[in-house]
Each structure stands twice: as C-alpha cells, then as structure tokens.
Structure 1
Amino acid sequence: MHAEPGQTFLHYRLIEKIGEGGMGAVWKATDTNLDREVAIKILASDVEENPARLSMFETEAKAVAALSHPNIVTIHSIEEAAGLRFITMELVRGTTLNEVIPSNGLPLKRFYRLAIPISDAISAAHERGVIHGDLKPNNLILGENDTIKILDFGLARFKQPTSAKDPSELTTAPLGLEGRFAGTMAYMSPEQIEGKPVDHRSDIFTLGILFYEMATGQLPFRGESFAELLASILKDAPAPLTVLKGDLPRHLDRVIRRCLEKAPSRRVQTALDLRNEFQLLQRETDPCGIESSPSVAVLPFADLSPEKDQEYFCDGIAEEIINALMRIENLQVASRTSSFRFKRTEMSSRELGDRLGVRNLLEGSVRKAGDKIRISVELVNAADGYQRWAEHYDRELRDIFAIQDEIAQRTVEALEVTLSPKERRAIRQVATTNVQAYDYYLRGRDFFFQYRTRGIEFALQMFSKAIELDPSYALAYAGIADCCSYLYMNVERIDANRMQADAASRKALALDPELAEAHTARGVSLSLDGRHDAAEQSFETAIRLNPKLFDAHYFYARDCYTNGSTEKAIRLYEQASALRPDDYQSLLLVGQIYADLGHEENSRAARLRGVNAAEERLDLNPDDVRALYLGANGLVALGQTDKGLAWAKRAMEIEPNEPMLLYNLACIYSLAGKRDTAVNCLETAIAGGFAHRPWLEKDSNLDALRDDARFQAMIEKIA
C-alpha cells in the first residue's frame, strides 16, 4: 500500500514525508487521540517481504524503546494497520549535525557541548545492550540551545549483556552483506567492513570519525571511490587533528585518534570513558586551552658551555626560578615536571603554551666557563612568540643567586602581578651563599629525579658534599632525608636509613623552621615509624607554608592511604594532580583508591587520565621506566592487558634489577591474573631490598595473592 499525505493509519494522520532510507520512509503525523505531532517510520514493502530486514526493523523498535535518555529519540509504539508495519516516535525538530559543522570544524566550546551528550547517550545505549551501528551526522538532530537527539537505530544490534553495567560483554554476529553496507561507508568501522562480529567498540570507532569531523571539519579517511574509501578505513592512519587545526588541545587529538585504532582492543574502551575525557578537558581549559589568570612556564635553560657538561646546573637554575615564582599566590606556574618534559623537543611557542596550559614562556641559556657565567633569558607570549622582556647577564659565578632573584622579579613585573610584602621576601630567599655547595645540591637534585637506586645513592653523596661546604644548608639536609626515606621504603629497610632520614629532617627544620620542603621531609620520615599523627602535622605545616608544593600533598596522601584514611587520601591526591596535571602517578593511585571504594566511574576516569599522562611522557621519552611500569598498571586495570604487559616487559628490559620496578611488576601481573609470575617478581623485589610492609599489606593490586602461602610467608619475614 502506498502512503500519502492526509492518509490515516489507526489514529495517526500523515502530514508530510520528512525522510527516507533503506528501511522505509519517515512521516510527520498527528496522533489524533492525544492531539500531538509524532514521527512515523513506515516499513518499505521490499523490507517487509524480507524476513531478515523485517527482523532488523523490529529490532530497532525494541532496542530504542528499551532506552530512556534525553539525547535519544523516544519510541512510542510499534503498530500494524492496512497491511503496513510502522513505528511511532517522538517528532524531533531542528537541523542535522551535518548542516552545522563548518569547513574548519566547530569551535572548541561548542564541540564539547555536543560531544559530551552524544557520548553519554551512546554509553546509555551500550549499557542496555544496544549497539547503534549507523552513527553519522545526518542521524543527529540539533534543536533549541544545541540540544541534540540521536535518531535511526535502523542497524542497531540488540543483545542484553549479562551485566547491564559491562558493555565489554556485548557482542553481536557479523552484520552480513545487507547490514554491512546499509550504513554510510565513511562512518563504518573496520570490523563492519570485513563482516566480522562487532561489539560496542565498533560504535567507538564511528564516534571517533564523527568527533574528528566535528573538531576539524574533515573526515579522517577518504577515497575517490567506494574501494579506496574502504581501503583507507582499513589501512590508513588519520592525520593528527592538530595538523589540520593547530589550536586544538593535544590531549583531545590523542583521545579522538585512540578511538580510531584499527584493533578494537587498542581503542578507548567505552563511550563512558570518552564522555569522562571530554568532561575533564572541558573543565580544565577555556576555549583556547589556556588558563585565564596570569600564567607562565619556565623551560629548561639550554647549556651553551664549551664542554656541554653543565646541564644539571642549567636545570637547577630553571628549577630555582620555578620555586621562587610558585610562592606567588596569584600566578599560575607550570611545575618542574611539566616544563621539563619538553626538554630537547622542537615545538612552537604556541604548541608549548597549549600543552602546558600557560600564556607565557620563560626561556634561557647558560654559558659557564671557570668563575664566569653568562645567562640570557627572555619572556615570550606563547600565543604569538612576541617577546615581552629579555636580558643578558655577564657576571661572576658568585652572583648566580642575585641573577636568579632578578630574573624572578623581572618576570613578575612583566606579567603585571602585584606582590605582597611576604611574597617579595619569599622570592628573595636564598638557601645558601656558597656557590660550590649550590652546585653539589643541583647535581643531587638531578640524580634524585631519576628515581633509581643508583641515582638516589649518587644524590645522597652530592647532598652530603653540599653540607660539607655549607653546614647550614637546610635544603641539602632535606635532600638527604628524602634520599634515606626512599632507600628505606623501596630499597633497603634497615635502621641506618630510617635513623638518617630522621636526623637529617630534624636538622633541616632546626636550620630553617619556615622551609616547607623540610616539613615535608620530616613528615615522610615520621611516617616511616608509623607516627601518623605527627606526620600529619608536618605535612599540614608544609602545605600552609607553601600551598603549591606538590610533594607535600603527594606524600601526605600516601601516608593517609597506608593508615586507612582513604577519603582524605583521595582529596590530597586530587589536589596533587591539580598542582601537577601531567603527574601520572597521583592520578593512577587515586584511581586505585576509587576502585577500592567501589567508585568505578571515578576510578576509570582517573586511570584514563593517568594512562594518557604516561603516554604523553613516553612520547617525549620512550625509555622512561617509571612511566612504563606505572602506566602498565593503569592499562591492565582498565582491561587493556596485552598493551599493559607489553609496557611492563619494556620496563623490565631497560631496568631489570630495580626493586621498585620489580614490586610494581608484581602488582601488574597480579592484576593480570598471572599469580606465579607476580609472586616471583615480588620475591625478587624483596630479595633486592624492597620491604615497605605497610604498603604490601594495604596495596589492593596484590589482593589476588593474599591467599598464596608464599605471599604470606614474605609478609611475615619483613619487620
């Protein structure tokens, strides 16, 4: 029977045809019983005569009717009249997304406003066992205030997973020839093209194509013909979004391109994860990805010395300037870890500013020869590279402290930040006046940041030499305390290390009671003895003296975790992450605590951010062992076990005998269900000196081993 305007089916009067596809025509109609306008999809006659396509039609109705989400079209009923089958549904007014995407992509603010509800709606569908199968801009309608509705589940596959909260259990049969090419080719996943079984990750790939187009105005895969387009989807890697549109955040580029991985196991794993990523990006940046308050990153200074052997000294100068600027409340300063990630990388000032989330960059170079030093420095606007201030200093080496002080003050003046008297005194504070002691201290810091046993041991020697030259050097005593605490926790749990950490932290405080780093070192030392109340007081004092000191928040959080104060640990880890957004360890640890408390959504979000931060670090330094093994833990916890184990293997190849690494490998293998390998790694770690019993007893990563007699025996052997 042929449908025409004015025709009535049951109590629905057709008004006009508003769309047509392979499954049938969509009409605007009036529901005369309820006096409202609805949309009616009338099944095409050739579809009704085909049992497979008829089943697909009924599947759409059942699938979508099971959903209740503000961004998914509402199905009212499935009916039959006058020999025709039809679905009645909500009439959605507006324009298709295809009509509003400009040639250069949507503004970032609007992108997030649309991408977040789209991801949330598809997540809701996946949780109910529904895979859309035909996402594309023409199936998304924008109404008033950019309210978006997803239409046309005509290729939907419907299978209720055993757990409504676990879309990973959602799998369907191959689409078959009819379904394989019923969708729009440019938005198909590789598994759809190849006729393989699909799961919810097929929609993730299609969302990647959709979001790529929304962000850049271009499709990631192209071809002059049907065959070329399908080959491109199967084989080509899409161009980075930042190549097509330079002002997009790099992290957004990474998230979208992860959706476009050919192998489903390498993609973002759920639409919920995708929504969470977009929400975090939206909150952390303004439309340009830049903090609105005055902000600066101090980049590592270049070593122009004749022998090229002063890198530690150049890094130290930059770090001292960072520390001085961080004492200013109304100035946002990128952390040392954030800025130093980009050492020896070639990036424009705009790209560096975008990656670091700052408006200004302080760059410099150092030429040191004998007792002479030349320092050149400039402050530039990150957006256009325009120089805001520059200076050259040709001085005696003994003037280094005055130079650092002047650079900090001139930077503040150029950024038009008003200092309080307390802040002015703080940035002029000098830890030592002995240049050689300062040199040894900088060498020690350089070794310490390697976070390896030999690096810590060398750092201890350097700090000790600094104290020999300047017995009043409080920061060097704090450095000794940090080294000994690290060795006691992770390498050799002997009284000598614990007692030296205790004595050095006491001495640092006696020399400078207002030094936040000394109070942090004292807090860590006290926690070694289980004196948590006293440790808490030290950490609280450190944070009061320097609210931007990452280590104070981070180690305070670790102490809270081991003594059972999990809610406080979460708060402190979140604060640490806010101070240093690229620190993968604090993100991954807070993700673990959320999982321990059963907050799965928060856990996945934190772990995803942690893994992404580790990946960004590895892009710049592929041999960063710490990023490899901590990132591996996050990957396995997120279900990306193969990739996580590959990272773990790579870390082991680089640093096979490091106790801290071996302990973390034990955690990774325990999470991956490889109990024997995990126990073997743990035994080797403990034999090598790792003996942090409070952490062993608390760490949920090791829960799978707790009923193993070998594990219990290891715990009992540790004092």
Structure 2
Amino acid sequence: MNSQRRQQIDRLLASALDRDPEDRTAFLDQVCDGDEELRREVESLVANNPRILVGGEATQLLEKVTTDRTIGPYQVIRSLGAGGMGQVYLARDERLKRFVAVKVIPEHHAEDADRLRRFRREALAVSALNHPNILTVYEVGSFEGGDFIATEFVDGQTLGAIIENGKKSLQAKLDTVIQIASALAAAHTAGIIHRDIKPANIMVRDDGLVKVLDFGIAKHSDLLEGAAQESLLTTPGTVVGTAAYMSPEQARGLSTDARTDIWSLGVITYELISGRRPFDGDTMLDVMSAVIERQPQKLTELDSTLPPDVDTLVLKALNKNKDERYQTADQLLTDLKVLKKSIESSEEQMLTAPQQPAPLGSGLANGFLTDGLPERRTAIDLTSDEKSQRLKTYQRAGLVVLLILIIIGIGGYFYFRKPTGKTIESIAVMPFINESGNSEIEYLADGMTDSLINSLSQVPNLSVKARTSVFRYKGKDVDPQRVGSELSVQAVLNGRVVKHDDDLTLYLSLVDSSNGNQIWGDRYERKMSQLVTLQSEIARDVSQKLRVRLSGAEEKKLTKDYTANVEAYQLYLRGRFNILKLTPDGINEGIACFQNAIAIDPNYALAHVGLSDAYRSIVMSTEKQPELFLPRSKAAAQKALEIDDSLADAHTAMGITLFWYDWNWTASENQFKRALELDPKSANAHLFYSHLLSNTGRHTEALAEMRRALEPDPFVPFSNALQGQFLVNAGQSDEALAVLQKTFLLAPGFWIPHAFAASAYIEKGMFEKAVAEARRATELSPAQTTSLAYEGYALAKLGRLDESRAIISKLIVLSKTSFVSGLPIAMIYNGLGDKNKAIEYLEQAMQQHDPKLTFLKVDPKWKNLRDDPRFQDLMRRVGF
C-alpha cells in the first residue's frame, strides 16, 4: 500500500470516528464512492479502533445517561461520540442558558484514585488558564458515582477536516498555527504540557477561532496496555494518526517536556501547508521509525512558490535533537508572526509597486522581508544549501525587477494607470464577539464594532453596512458568503474580543464573501490603557487591507481620536451600549455614562453628542415630557458643535432638535445639509432630513432621501417603518403597506410598523384592519399612546362610539399619574367629529411641545380641520 493511499485511509478513519455511528454508513457511501476495497479497509479500522473497543463500557454509560437525561446539572441533548477518556455529550446548562460538552469518565479510570486525582488536578489547572485558544473547562464533578468534566461546546470542524479540505490561503494557515502556538505558550508558562497535539485535538470554528482540546488530559489516558498495544503496533493503519505526531523522544519512550509539543506543532504546520505528513508509513512501527530516523522533504520542494523561510521555521521545529529545536512555544510564536507579516508585506508590495528584494541580513534568519519591522536576531541558522537557494531566489528577483524597469521605460505611463490590485468597495463589519466569558464587557465588543463602522464610513468610495444591518446577525454563527449575499458586500470583517484584567486581545479576520477565503487576519494584544489608539490603528490597518487609497486629510479623519482618556472612552462606549436598549433604565444609565465621560474630559465632543441623543431618546422611546428633555438635548448638541464644528453627528443632533422642538424648519434643514457635506454617507443624517422633507410636504424629495438613508442600512426597522408612514402621507397607502409588511418580518416584536400600518388602513377605509394593527402595536408596547390614537380614530369611523370614547377616558385617567400628550386625545375626538375638543387638545399638545405636531401638515387624518382658522393658527405656531 503506497503512502498516498495510507494517508487517504487515515483521514477517512479520523473523519468516520468523529461521526455518530448512525451517520457513518452514509458518510462512507459518499466518500468511498464505489471503492469497495477502500471502504472495507476503513470499516475494519473503525471496528478495531481503541475508541470502539471500549464501546461496551461507553454503551452502558450511554444507556444510563439517556435514561437519566442529565449529567449533574446538565441536560443531555445527544451524544457527540466516544474518546479514549470516555463518552462525550452535547448538553445544556439551564442555569446559564448555554450549551456545553460533557465528557463522562469510564469506570476503569474512575476506580484508580490516583489517576482520577491527577485528572481532576490537571483539569482545574487548565480551567485557570483563561486563554481564548484553549477549550474552557467549566466544571469537574460527579453524578451517581460517575465522574464528568464539563467544557465549552465548540461548533466547528477538526483541524483534520480543514487539512483535508486544503482551501485555506498560506496566511490563513499560518494564522491557525499562530493560535495553536499561543495556546501552547500559555499552557507551558503554567507548567502544563499537552503531549498529544494532533489535528483531532484541535477544533476550528467557522469564524477561524482555534480551540485546543484535552490539555493535561491526554497524558493520563493510557488506555491500551500489554498485548493490546503490541497488536496495534503491527496492524496496518491503526493509531497511525497519533504516531505521526509523536516526537522522537516520545517514540523512543524517553522523558518529554514542552519541546515535545513544539515538535507536534511542527508536524501539524507541515501537514497544514502541504496537505501531507512529514513522516509516513504503512504501520505504526513504520511511522515511528520514520520519526526517529528520516528527514522530512522540504516544503519548498513540494511547492516552489513557498518562501524559503517557511522551510527554515518548520525544519527548526522538527529538529530531532530537542536541544536544537525551538526551546519555547513563545520563540516559535514570535517567528510565526514575523513570517506571516513578511508574507503579507511581500504580497502588498507585489500589489502596489515593484520593490527591490530585501538584502540578506534583514529580518528573521536573514531572510524575511520585514520592511518596517524592528531588526531582530534569531536562533534559526541557514544551511549552505539554503543560502545557495536564497541567493538564486534573489538573482531571479533581480532579473524580474530589471524586466519591469524595461517595461516602465517603454510604457510606464500606461502600466501605472492600471489598477494594481482588487480594491474592495463594500464591506460589512460584523458584531465583534465577546469571548471573555464576562457579559459585563459586552459594551466593549459592541462599542469597538460601532467605532470601526463609523470610522470606515469616512472612507471615500467604500460602502459600509450600517449598524442595524449587521447587528441582526449578533449571536448567530453565520457564514461570510451568506452575509455577503444578503448584504451585497464584497468583504466581511469578523472580530473577537478577549479582556482579562488589564489585557485586551482583538482578533480580526477579513474574508472575501465571494469564496469564503480569508484576505487578511491579525491579532492585536494591548493593554486597556491603549484602547483609544488601538481603535485608530485598526481603522488604518483595515483600510489598507481593503486596498483603499487615502489622501493625508482622509487618513487623518479616519484615525481621528476624539479623546485621549481611556476611561472617558469606555464610558462613552457604555453609554452608547445602554441607550440602544431603548428602555427607561438603559437610557438613564446611558445618560449617567455620558455625563461621567464629560466630567473626565469636558472637550469630548462625541460624549456631548451621545448625551444629546440620550435626552432625545427619553422623549421618543419612553414618552416623557418633551419640554423637560429636548432643551437639554439641544444644549448638548450645541456644546458638541462648539468643541468640534466638523463633527457630522453633532450637526445631525442639532438638526433634529431644531426640527422637533424649535420647529425651525429652515435652520434644521441647514444643519442636515451641513452634516451631509461633512459625511455624505451618514444614514442618520439622511434619515432625519428625509423626515423633515416629508413633514413639510416635499414627498418626492423625502422618499429619495430615505432611499439614501436605507442604502447602507437596508434592514433597520425604524427607517423602514418611517418610510411606510411617509408613503401614507404622500397618498401612497398601498405602497406603504408593502413596505410595512416587510418590516414586520425584519422585526416581529417592533410596535411602530404595526401602528403605521393602522394609519395606512385608515386612509384606505379599512377600519377593522386598522383596529387590529393598532391593537397589535399596543400589545407589543403598552406604554406608548400612538396606537391608542389610531385605534380610537378607527373605532369612531366604524361607528363604535362607546369603544372610541372609552379610549379617551383611559388616556385622561392615565394623564393624572404620568405624562400623556394631548395629541392622541385630539385625534380620537377628530375621528368622532368633535372639532372643538380636537382643537382644545391640540392646544394642550402645543403647550407640551409634542414633536409629533410636526406631522400636522401632511397627516391625512387632520385634513378636515385645515380650513379651520384655529387649526391654521396652530400650524403657524408649529412653523408651517
């Protein structure tokens, strides 16, 4: 049997063992595709694999667990498979509402008190690591005499499946290895050695996050002893997967240390890059002999496009003398990062302009193209053959440069007029994932996402999907290609945030949505004190990876910091996070955050804008007195403008208060226009300018402006609902209902589109449907009164006068204990035909300064009053 066939069998065996028994037949039907010899071989190995040989015990455990349906506090959902240390189940922790993986320890392990004690000690040691690339251990416990370990559940693929697929770019592969090395470095620092690093013990989530499994556990799983192990050594294919990752000292039975894990990671790196293992054979003994005696073929001999430094790094990790290997995982991690950076730098240079090759003596091992990186020394030494190969590489590069210079001399103008790389013109920044295990810092993940969206929106000719469009994916595991298709973007940026004490780590991955390939990925490790500058650094790096060309002024705008104080910045992020909850408690907490940020940095313009938005949200979301809070909103916006007149959001905030509170239409429109001059892509400015245009009767302009507002943010429920109301006011009720029906699907629990649908049905004379939609809106949001107004009006038109008046009575009683505008009462009286009462309560709404009076000119429900002098006087006072 040749080595290629052997590797094929090994991979199919690993994949088959990872599947539930009932799924294996269908899997083998698919992958063997009529190759009966291949199928028989795999089925034989599955039947004789150690994981299956302990099946009797596993079956008993499975029956017990299935009967009881719980393991300790965990509710079992299904079996995930069996391993050397026992059966593994997917379960749910009902206390914390999360999925977990629970491994039940076989009885023959549990009966050995010393083994069990060491097992628990190692599990507890690993649980203290708190590293994003190490599987989190939640609990070690017992149930009815059995023992279990509960860990986080990782939904993804094994690294073996990733290797088999083989579609990742070199940078993406290196990013995977970097994450594994980071996990090893953390574990080794804590005195924990894995000893069984292999693809089956590494999971990769769909977003690229790596999780290393079974830390400190594998070394205790001496499952096979004596004759059983002897038979396995000569059985073709059995356990070859594990032997292939053993270090020479492991294969010889000598003592091992952290350098054994480094060897195993070297094997994985080799296999991940090339798709084949460095040491192979037909039996376990053959493989172990190759590990001890043979040198692996160079990766550059398998793929001539690879840079020679890949060989330098991998062969150092695979040095058979552990004293000449990397001595620590930190050393390997450092060189992996430099290698990845040099490859990215080389590609960027290829994409922009011809570059002279880096001279020998710069960068890692005198070879990496580390332009812009500090010079550093390393322990990697080049052999004479490698130096000769390096020299030939540079000679070839020199010839290429010479040829390019000749081309430039002949037609350089036309050459440089061509685009030098694919510029990405649209992007979705997905909600950053908080992987700290602490919901208290969710604000940080959301805030960093928002900040990056806002920064990238400043980039000319780049379409950035706005917050609402991307945050509907929050908490969901979504394929980037699906996001690209649904949002019509070329690229998707994913991020993961980990905060531990004062340490902050951010992982970014930029993915091509057309094929799912990673364009770029990086990890930022900073202190919290560097949070402000980190945001600017990220914005700059991402824009560069998008290959967007910026002028000096544009880059300065992109990376602008509005405060240098980290505490003030965190308070600002907390404030934004809280007011977006749109609850009274959330908004009040947001106000306190903004006020505290301003107390720390009085010149923090964005915090003043946030405060303005918060005061306005109190009025619109919780129906508080406008005359108490809208002047405060205006004052905060004014202060922001005094600090920074170039801040588009400040002009938008001022425009809204001039519109809603001052009823100064001309001044408000000027503010919106100025905001759009400063930030032509501001969805918020387009939205509220559209609002002003609609309420002043400029319907064609309003709907065009709304389309601009929805362009970066097509799924925001509020904007879509408001568009429906604007269509009603423009006399297009059928079109309005089509938009509002779509909005129901976007946000099933959102009351506003149902209220506006009631308004549309009123204009169509479909009053029963209007009542139904109004009641649905009230059901979804009992505190608001707009839907009661529409219900009472429609009931009056249906002739159900007592029901209509009952709503008026309800509103009047409610007004004794809380704020109620006179406007909904006036609308119901108008539906009943009582013009005098309608005018009386409109006057009350005027005294209360209700912003909804701005609809008087265009809302068809008031058209019967437009010839009344009293109503005309009201209109003048509202600015019409």
Shorter-chain TM-score tier = 0.5 to 0.7
Alignment of 1:509-548 (within 5 A): 509-527=641-659, 528-548=661-681
- Residues in 2 aligned to 1:387 and 1:350: alpha-carbon distance in whole angstroms: 11
Which residue type is aligned with residue 714 of structure 1?
Answer: Y
1:325 aligns with 2:451: no
Number of matched pairs: 415
Q: Cα deviations across residues 2-43 of structure 1 (Å, max 9, x unaligned)?
A: xxxxxxxxxxxxxxxxxxxxxxxxxxxxxxxxxxxxxxxxxx
Alignment of 1:204-603 (within 5 A): 294-488=425-619, 491-493=623-625, 495-527=627-659, 528-598=661-731, 600=732, 603=733
Please report how far the alpha carbon of residue 710 of structure 1 lies from its aligned counterpart in structure 2 after TM superposition. 4.9
* Counterpart for residue 819 of structure 2: 689
- Residues in 2 aligned to 1:686 and 1:712: alpha-carbon distance in whole angstroms: 18
Question: Judging changes above 3 Å, is the alpha-carbon distance between structure 1 residues 464 and 329 closer, same or farther for their aligned structure 2 residues?
Answer: same
Which residue type is aligned with residue 581 of structure 1?
Answer: P
Which residue type is aligned with residue 713 of structure 1?
Answer: E
Task: Choose the corresponding residue for 1:717, options 844, 855, 859.
Answer: 844
* Counterpart for residue 741 of structure 2: 611
- Residues in 2 aligned to 1:430 and 1:702: alpha-carbon distance in whole angstroms: 53
Q: CA contact under 8 A between 1:666 and 1:681: conserved in structure 2?
A: no
Please report how far the alpha carbon of residue 606 of structure 1 lies from its aligned counterpart in structure 2 after TM superposition. 4.5
Q: Cα deviations across residues 293-338 of structure 1 (Å, max 9, x unaligned)?
A: 7211111111111323211110000000000111112111111010
Question: Judging changes above 3 Å, is the alpha-carbon distance between structure 1 residues 407 and 495 closer, same or farther for their aligned structure 2 residues?
Answer: same
* Counterpart for residue 73 of structure 2: none
Which residue type is aligned with residue 657 of structure 2?
Answer: S
Please report how far the alpha carbon of residue 477 of structure 1 lies from its aligned counterpart in structure 2 after TM superposition. 0.7
- Residues in 1 aligned to 2:432 and 2:593: alpha-carbon distance in whole angstroms: 21
Alignment of 1:663-674 (within 5 A): 663-667=786-790, 670=793, 673=797
Per the alignment, in what secondary structure is the counterpart of residue 309 of structure 1?
helix
Per the alignment, in what secondary structure is the counterpart of residue 408 of structure 1?
helix
Per the alignment, in what secondary structure is the counterpart of residue 330 of structure 1?
coil
Q: Cα deviations across residues 344-397 of structure 1 (Å, max 9, x unaligned)?
A: 123322222222221211111111122211111101122332111111111101
Which residue type is aligned with residue 843 of structure 2?
Answer: E
Question: Judging changes above 3 Å, is the alpha-carbon distance between structure 1 residues 305 and 704 closer, same or farther for their aligned structure 2 residues?
Answer: same
Question: Judging changes above 3 Å, is the alpha-carbon distance between structure 1 residues 355 and 606 closer, same or farther for their aligned structure 2 residues?
Answer: farther
Per the alignment, in what secondary structure is the counterpart of residue 747 of structure 2?
helix
- Residues in 1 aligned to 2:499 and 2:463: alpha-carbon distance in whole angstroms: 30
Q: Cα deviations across residues 55-80 of structure 1 (Å, max 9, x unaligned)?
A: xxxxxxxxxxxxxxxxxxxxxxxxxx
- Residues in 2 aligned to 1:702 and 1:429: alpha-carbon distance in whole angstroms: 53
Please report how far the alpha carbon of residue 690 of structure 1 lies from its aligned counterpart in structure 2 after TM superposition. 5.0
Which residue type is aligned with residue 513 of structure 2?
Answer: A
Question: Judging changes above 3 Å, is the alpha-carbon distance between structure 1 residues 690 and 318 closer, same or farther for their aligned structure 2 residues?
Answer: farther
Q: Could you tell me the TM-score, scaled by structure 1's length?
A: 0.52
Which residue type is aligned with residue 841 of structure 2?
Answer: M
Q: CA contact under 8 A between 2:725 and 2:756: conserved in structure 1?
A: no
| Backbone CA RMSD of aligned residues | 3.3
- Residues in 2 aligned to 1:522 and 1:564: alpha-carbon distance in whole angstroms: 22
Question: Judging changes above 3 Å, is the alpha-carbon distance between structure 1 residues 402 and 715 closer, same or farther for their aligned structure 2 residues?
Answer: same
- Residues in 2 aligned to 1:544 and 1:354: alpha-carbon distance in whole angstroms: 31
Q: Cα deviations across residues 621-658 of structure 1 (Å, max 9, x unaligned)?
A: xx44556655666687789988876665555445422x
Q: CA contact under 8 A between 1:505 and 1:521: conserved in structure 2?
A: yes
Q: CA contact under 8 A between 1:516 and 1:545: conserved in structure 2?
A: yes
- Residues in 1 aligned to 2:617 and 2:788: alpha-carbon distance in whole angstroms: 18
Q: CA contact under 8 A between 2:687 and 2:709: conserved in structure 1?
A: yes
Which residue type is aligned with residue 463 of structure 2?
Answer: Q
1:656 aligns with 2:782: yes
Question: Judging changes above 3 Å, is the alpha-carbon distance between structure 1 residues 685 and 631 closer, same or farther for their aligned structure 2 residues?
Answer: farther
Q: CA contact under 8 A between 1:679 and 1:710: conserved in structure 2?
A: no
- Residues in 2 aligned to 1:631 and 1:369: alpha-carbon distance in whole angstroms: 48
- Residues in 2 aligned to 1:426 and 1:376: alpha-carbon distance in whole angstroms: 24
After alignment, is 702-711 or 451-460 more displaced?
Answer: 702-711
Which residue type is aligned with residue 648 of structure 2?
Answer: A
Q: Percent identity?
A: 29
Q: CA contact under 8 A between 1:587 and 1:606: conserved in structure 2?
A: no
Which residue type is aligned with residue 450 of structure 1?
Answer: K
Q: CA contact under 8 A between 2:744 and 2:750: conserved in structure 1?
A: no
Per the alignment, in what secondary structure is the counterpart of residue 393 of structure 1?
strand
Which residue type is aligned with residue 462 of structure 1?
Answer: C
- Residues in 2 aligned to 1:627 and 1:531: alpha-carbon distance in whole angstroms: 28
Give the structure with the larger helix fraction: 2
Question: Judging changes above 3 Å, is the alpha-carbon distance between structure 1 residues 615 and 399 closer, same or farther for their aligned structure 2 residues?
Answer: same
Please report how far the alpha carbon of residue 500 of structure 1 lies from its aligned counterpart in structure 2 after TM superposition. 1.6
Please report how far the alpha carbon of residue 549 of structure 1 lies from its aligned counterpart in structure 2 after TM superposition. 1.1
Q: CA contact under 8 A between 1:557 and 1:572: conserved in structure 2?
A: yes
Please report how far the alpha carbon of residue 494 of structure 1 lies from its aligned counterpart in structure 2 after TM superposition. 5.1
* Counterpart for residue 89 of structure 1: none
Question: Judging changes above 3 Å, is the alpha-carbon distance between structure 1 residues 392 and 615 closer, same or farther for their aligned structure 2 residues?
Answer: same
- Residues in 2 aligned to 1:685 and 1:330: alpha-carbon distance in whole angstroms: 51
Question: Judging changes above 3 Å, is the alpha-carbon distance between structure 1 residues 715 and 329 closer, same or farther for their aligned structure 2 residues?
Answer: same
- Residues in 2 aligned to 1:319 and 1:382: alpha-carbon distance in whole angstroms: 21
Q: CA contact under 8 A between 2:757 and 2:770: conserved in structure 1?
A: yes
Question: Judging changes above 3 Å, is the alpha-carbon distance between structure 1 residues 577 and 686 closer, same or farther for their aligned structure 2 residues?
Answer: farther
